[in-house]
């Protein structure tokens, strides 16, 4: 009987050992599969899994919301326009900054998109929401929740994916973007290196006071024999960098007539030809009288209007002298 019990114990022990080995094999196989999946996920460009590159390259509408405000930007005639909360030219650098951050996201870990995780990572009350719409009406929504300052990570979701992603923090502080970051306050829309011809007219004259041409990597003008590339660049950039005091995006009939009357006979007119053969025209008024509704003081400001901008600008008189071009500004 004892011999039978011994054989039974050995048999049971053998079966238990075999069962344990089978479980261990399954466990090791699962671990190998999981690690291999994670490894493949990490080796692949993680953001290509989240938002396709062709979507980022063909964005037509971008809606951005953070704790400061909500902003809607659309592309019209290849230019970004801020639609909400105001309709003004949008700062393309801010748009490109957002797109670049989306391109550069690196996924560190993935989590199941379950209610407890969704709430724990503050995705039910996100600090940022970014909605993208392409020309083909493809849509993506990115929600950014909890930011962990200890390991510099954040948690986000992307529509079309069932996971919550723990990612590196955006290098730029997108959560701090405000209205001024989205408004393009530049009156001139081009850099100096894109210009092939710069004409400055004075008053009612139909012939330019001076025309500067960029030919064979040199600035030239018929008005003066020799001019300096460096000083001419410097002078043109001083004009291109004129900053407005105000964008006149809200005009009643009275203000429209006021603007038209001043720009009917401008003090200066600038015509710029670009390397892509586009022509841009700018009108600069004389110093204006007071505009009480806008708190514009008498003889302190002038008006500028650009052919490629929707609205005119109020500019402080300190910038007016920049439109005077002398030989001393250009000479070697």
- Indicate if the pLDDT at residue 48 is higher than 80: no
Joined tokens for residue 213 = 């041409």
- Indicate if the pLDDT at residue 287 is higher than 90: yes
> What average pLDDT does range 79-106 have in this prediction?
91
- Indicate if the pLDDT at residue 34 is higher than 70: no
At 327 the pLDDT is 94
Angle, vertex CA 326, rays to CA 241 and CA 301, nearest 5: 45
40: confidence class by pLDDT, cuts 50, 70, 90: very low
Q: Closest Cα to residue 109, out of 59, 166, 70, 160?
A: 166
Cβ(214)–Cβ(197) below 8 Å: yes
Taking only the tens place, the pLDDT of each residue in 229-282 is 999 999 999 999 999 999 998 889 999 999 999 999 999 999 999 999 999 999
For 183, which DSSP code?
B
Burial class (CB in 10 A: 0-12, 13-18, 19+), 187: buried
Joined tokens for residue 66 = 């953070």
- Indicate if the pLDDT at residue 220 is higher than 60: yes
1: confidence class by pLDDT, cuts 50, 70, 90: very low
51: confidence class by pLDDT, cuts 50, 70, 90: confident
Q: Closest Cα to residue 305, out of 222, 233, 248, 221?
A: 248
Is domain 192-330 given the CATH code 2.60.40 in the classification?
yes
At 27 the pLDDT is 47
The pTM of the full predicted model, rounded to 2 decimals, is 0.68
DSSP 44-105: S-HHHHHS-HHHHHTEEEEEEEESS-EEEEEEETTEEEEEES--EEB-HHHHHHHHHHHHT-
């Amino acid at each position: 009987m004892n011999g039978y019990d011994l054989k039974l114990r050995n048999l049971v022990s053998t079966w238990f050992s075999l069962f344990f080995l089978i479980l261990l094999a399954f466990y090791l196989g699962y671990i190998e599969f999981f690690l291999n999946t994670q490894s493949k996920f990490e080796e692949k460009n993680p953001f290509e899994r989240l938002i396709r590159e062709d979507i980022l390259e063909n964005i037509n509408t971008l809606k951005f919301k953070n704790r400061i405000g909500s902003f809607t930007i659309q592309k019209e005639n290849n230019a970004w326009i801020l639609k909400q909360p105001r309709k003004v030219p949008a700062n393309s650098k801010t748009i490109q900054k957002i797109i670049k951050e989306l391109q550069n996201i690196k996924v560190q870990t993935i989590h199941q998109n379950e209610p407890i995780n969704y709430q724990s990572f503050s995705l039910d009350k996100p600090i940022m929401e970014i909605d993208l719409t392409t020309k083909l009406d493809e849509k993506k929504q990115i929600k950014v929740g909890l930011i962990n300052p200890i390991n510099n990570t954040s948690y986000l979701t992307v529509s079309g994916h069932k996971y919550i992603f723990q990612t590196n923090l955006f290098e730029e502080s997108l959560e701090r973007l405000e209205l001024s970051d989205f408004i393009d306050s530049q009156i001139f829309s081009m850099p100096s290196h894109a210009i092939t011809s710069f004409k400055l007219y004075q008053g009612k004259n139909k012939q330019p006071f001076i025309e500067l041409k960029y030919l064979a990597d040199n600035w030239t003008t018929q008005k003066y024999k020799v001019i300096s590339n460096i000083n001419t660049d410097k002078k043109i950039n001083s004009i291109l960098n004129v900053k407005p005091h105000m964008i006149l995006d809200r005009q009643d009939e009275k203000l429209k007539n006021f603007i038209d009357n001043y720009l009917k006979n401008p003090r200066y007119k600038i015509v710029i030809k670009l390397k892509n053969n586009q022509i841009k025209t700018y009108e600069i008024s004389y110093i204006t009288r007071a505009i009480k509704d806008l708190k514009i003081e008498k003889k302190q400001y002038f008006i500028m209007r650009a052919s490629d901008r929707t609205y005119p600008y109020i500019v402080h008189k300190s910038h007016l002298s920049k439109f005077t071009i002398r030989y001393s500004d250009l000479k070697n």
